[in-house]
Chain A
Amino acid sequence: MKLKKGFVLKKTAGRYVAVSMGDDYNGFMGMVTLSGTAPFYWELLKSEQTLDSLAESVTKEYDVTKEEAIKDLKPFIKKLLDAGILEE
């Protein structure tokens, strides 16, 4: 899975939001609020990843087990998939 083109992650008004580029008040598709680990995951998902490869990267960066990493990743990935930001 990988990020679709045309989405940007920005910290705005205290939280991480993903928005669609080229949106305006005539066609606003909405923004998605993401957790504090978002920038790290977002950067990884700019290239092709699997849940496993993501979890691997997380365990290298943070002091967590692979199971803990997967537990945190799953809702994040679901949110991006539901919003149409991620291609499987």
Chain B
Amino acid sequence: MYEFNIEIANIPIKIFSKHKYVYEQCYDYLTEKNPFFSVSLSNEDILKEMTIANKNGKTDLDEKYLESTAIYRKICEKILDYDAFMMHSATVKLDDTAIAFIGKSGAGKTTQSMFWINEFGAEYINGDKPIIRLIDGSFFAFGTPWCGKERLNNNTYAKLEFLVQVVKSDKNAVQELSSYDALPVVLKQVHLWDDEISLSKIMDMIDKLIESVKVLRLYCKKEPISAHVAFEKIFNFIEEK
């Protein structure tokens, strides 16, 4: 049994794990701070994770990977009590601003985020599953050890100011979405919990999130120029402030 503390999104958490894998995965996030809560798994939790993995067509059913994703799942539910939630997105940081690329699988979120790294010197916060936390009225995006196969993450954070929905297209263009149009898009990027209390918490946070960030839709071809189109629009918003 491995027992260790990590800190993600300024929340210290104690983890109990059977395998060393998740300890190694969390190496950059280890802390001595007193945990707010602890996470341990039952056999039932592993079986549940296996069911979910099967449903999603995943074949990586080695127990150590299942343990890791099951632990994150539990963390993501408990952090709702600390005004935090996980949002499926490729999130980067440029200066002090976090930009989260969201959208359907295969739409080009990771490609777009990589353009930002290469073209503008942005840094990864988390390439797949960052944690978003409401702190003193503003949302911040945080790196976590759970970040997709490519391991794109840094133990860093920035104020989340833009959500960019990436849509595959034969042109490069960007438009701002109203909160009306943004809602269904954003809801697709989070887990809608199957207990009413947790679901209520996350919906309340999405409500606040949409009011406090700009949501853009980026129609793009998978080429670097599309990043420039998005950058220009975002830069104008920043300049306007």
Contacts and interface: CB of A to CB of B under 8 A. Distances in A.
A24 B180 contact: no
Nearest to A25: B88
A12 interface: yes
B10 interface: no
B111 interface: no
Contacts of A23: 191-192
Interface stretch (B41-49, B118-126, B205-213, B221-229): B205-213
Interface stretch (A26-34, A38-46, A55-63, A72-80): A26-34
Interface stretch (B16-24, B149-157, B168-176, B181-189): B181-189
Given A21-B193, A21-B194, A28-B188, A13 B211 contact: yes
A21 B199 contact: yes
A22 B199 CA distance: 9
A12 B207 contact: yes
B182 A24 contact: no
26 contacts: A8-B199, A8-B203, A10-B199, A10-B200, A10-B204, A10-B207, A12-B207, A13-B206, A13-B210, A14-B179, A15-B183, A17-B183, A20-B192, A21-B195, A21-B196, A22-B192, A23-B192, A24-B191, A24-B192, A25-B88, A26-B55, A27-B55, A28-B192, A30-B184, A31-B183, A31-B184
8 pairs of A and B residues whose beta carbons are closest in the complex: A22-B194, A24-B191, A23-B192, A10-B203, A21-B194, A13-B183, A13-B179, A12-B207
